[in-house]
């Protein structure tokens, strides 16, 4: 009897192992799983106004245009963190990404739905902040472990259960904030809303958005849009700022030129407060930012689903296929970028830009489905670098070798 039970158990174990191997091979073979995993982040279902900002369906051109119009109304961020000053006073080296990442999370939370976490002071003590960072890390871990691409298997694991717990934390906070804001907007006279229409944050815009039939977004759709903007915005921006700082720290002469440009902007002023129009008067800094985005692409690749059979260099890619666009390779193409591993801001003079194919530089993707937060991100990066370089000089730690993960 014991032998029979043991034999049955062995057969069951063998069947399970074979099943897992088959699932693994299918996951490796089926590249469309990439898009599937992207949809595992807290996000919205397809919607006639919005859709999903990362995995957007093709025919929804009106929705895309509406998103861009509302994105243009975002309030811009003028706050700045003081953590760098603490390290500067001690004349010590420190790892900049953790500081910048908390700052960008503060920024996007404040702009997305006026949620004050004060990440830079409380750090990871805030449960919401803990959940955001945990979800980002677990999503990457799951991506590189194909055997966890199956939902039923993944959510049986400790990591899968933790993923769900963190999703609940993020959603509960969003639910609370959205509910309170809906009450506030309901009690605000329409006239005041119209006067302040250019000062609405992302959540206000979502709550007041209406399609041509006068229909607004549902509660779940609003929450998901905010989550999408958060998860796809803060970490990439932090990476861009950090690599730009590192590049400038590695090239003291280029950094000095940026500082001269910034100092010239403040000549004759009584305060060192930045005005938003100042950002358009920093052309050399803008060139440095673009070169940093080229050299260290925050988003190294993107995926697109073909809406028709497409000839790609003699190969016919069928409709429905998922095409991987490797931005990092595009930005290091030796036929376009001479000495592509070198940091040369002059690549982005107006003359040089005009001489290149516009698709040679696509840090925010390109075309009708490019990043809707592009202007927001560029302004944020420029403001952070301008304020930092106006107060500090960046120096790379000679004893620390920076490696890309």
The answer on 219 and 118 residing in a single domain is: yes
- Quick one: DSSP state of residue 303? E
The answer on 96 and 17 residing in a single domain is: no
Tell me, what CATH number does 117's domain have? 1.10.630.10
What's the pLDDT score for residue 111?
A: 75
Does residue 34 carry a pLDDT above 50? no
371 in a labelled binding site: yes
Q: What is the DSSP string of 320-331?
A: TPEEEEEHHHHT
The answer on 378 and 260 residing in a single domain is: yes
The answer on 107 and 77 residing in a single domain is: yes
Does residue 74 carry a pLDDT above 50? no
Q: Tell me how far CA of residue 340 lies from CA of 137, 217, 362, in angstroms.
A: 30, 45, 15
Between 117 and 376, the higher pLDDT residue: 376
pTM attached to this predicted model = 0.74
Quick: pLDDT tens for 241-281: 999 999 999 999 999 999 999 999 988 887 778 888 888 99
Mean pLDDT, the chain, rounded, equals 78
The answer on 221 and 96 residing in a single domain is: yes
Q: Number of folded domains in the chain?
A: 3
What's the pLDDT score for residue 219?
A: 86
Collect all residues with Cβ–Cβ distance below 8 Å to 302 and sequence separation of at least 6. 324, 325, 327, 365
Q: Is residue 93 part of a domain?
A: yes
Q: Is residue 313 part of a domain?
A: no
The answer on 399 and 272 residing in a single domain is: yes
The answer on 111 and 50 residing in a single domain is: yes
Quick: pLDDT tens for 308-345: 999 988 999 999 998 999 999 999 999 999 999 999 99
Q: Is residue 320 part of a domain?
A: no
Q: β-pairing, 310-312 with 322-326?
A: unpaired
What's the pLDDT score for residue 140?
A: 82
What is the band of 291 on the pLDDT scale with cuts at 50, 70, 90? very high
Q: What is the mean pLDDT of residues 216-232?
A: 81
User: Do residues 188 and 153 lie in contact, with contact meaning Cβ atoms separated by under 8 Å?
Assistant: no
What's the pLDDT score for residue 193?
A: 53
Q: What is the DSSP string of 206-258?
A: HHH---TTS----HHHHHHHHHHHHHTTHHHHHHHHHHHHHHHHH-HHHHHHH
Does residue 214 carry a pLDDT above 70? yes
Q: Which of 178, 41, 25 is nearest to 114 (CA)?
A: 178
The answer on 269 and 350 residing in a single domain is: yes
Range of the domain at 19: 2-30
Q: Is residue 321 part of a domain?
A: no
What's the pLDDT score for residue 147?
A: 87
Q: The tokens 């592509």 sit on which residue?
A: 340
């Amino acid at each position: 009897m014991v032998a029979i039970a043991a034999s049955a158990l062995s057969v069951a174990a063998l069947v399970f192992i074979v099943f897992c191997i088959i699932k693994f091979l299918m996951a490796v073979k089926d590249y469309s799983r990439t898009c599937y995993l992207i949809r595992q982040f807290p996000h919205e279902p397809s919607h006639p106004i919005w859709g999903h900002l990362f995995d957007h369906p093709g025919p929804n051109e009106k929705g895309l245009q509406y998103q861009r119009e509302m994105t243009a109304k975002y309030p811009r961020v003028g706050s700045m963190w003081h953590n760098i000053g603490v390290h500067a006073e001690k004349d010590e080296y420190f790892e900049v990404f953790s500081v910048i990442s908390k700052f960008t999370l503060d920024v996007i939370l404040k702009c997305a739905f006026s949620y004050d976490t004060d990440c830079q002071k409380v750090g990871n003590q805030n449960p919401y902040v803990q959940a955001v960072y945990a979800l980002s890390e677990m999503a990457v871990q799951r991506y590189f472990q194909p055997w966890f691409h199956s939902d039923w298997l993944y959510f049986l694991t400790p990591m899968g259960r933790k993923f769900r717990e963190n999703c609940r934390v993020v959603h509960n906070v969003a639910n609370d904030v959205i509910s309170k804001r809906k009450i506030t907007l309901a009690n605000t006279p329409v006239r005041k809303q119209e006067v302040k229409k250019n000062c609405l944050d992302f959540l206000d815009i979502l709550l007041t958005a209406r399609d041509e039939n006068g229909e607004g977004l549902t509660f779940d759709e609003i929450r998901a849009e905010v989550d999408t903007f958060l998860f796809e915005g803060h970490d990439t921006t932090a990476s861009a700022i950090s690599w730009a700082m590192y590049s400038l720290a590695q090239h003291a002469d280029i950094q000095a030129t940026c500082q001269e440009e910034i100092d010239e902007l403040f000549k004759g002023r009584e305060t060192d407060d930045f005005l938003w129009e100042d950002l358009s008067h920093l052309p050399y800094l803008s060139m440095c930012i673009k070169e940093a985005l080229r050299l260290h692409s925050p988003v190294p690749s993107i995926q697109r689903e073909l809406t028709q059979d497409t000839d790609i260099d003699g190969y016919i890619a069928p409709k429905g296929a998922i095409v991987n666009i490797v931005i990092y390779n595009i930005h290091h193409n030796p036929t376009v970028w001479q000495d592509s591993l070198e940091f040369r801001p002059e690549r982005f003079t107006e003359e040089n830009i005009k001489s290149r194919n516009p698709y040679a530089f696509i840090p925010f993707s390109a075309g009708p489905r490019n990043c809707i937060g592009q202007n927001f991100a560029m302004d944020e990066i420029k403001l952070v670098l301008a304020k930092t370089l106006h107060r500090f000089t960046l120096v790379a730690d000679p004893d620390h070798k920076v490696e890309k993960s």
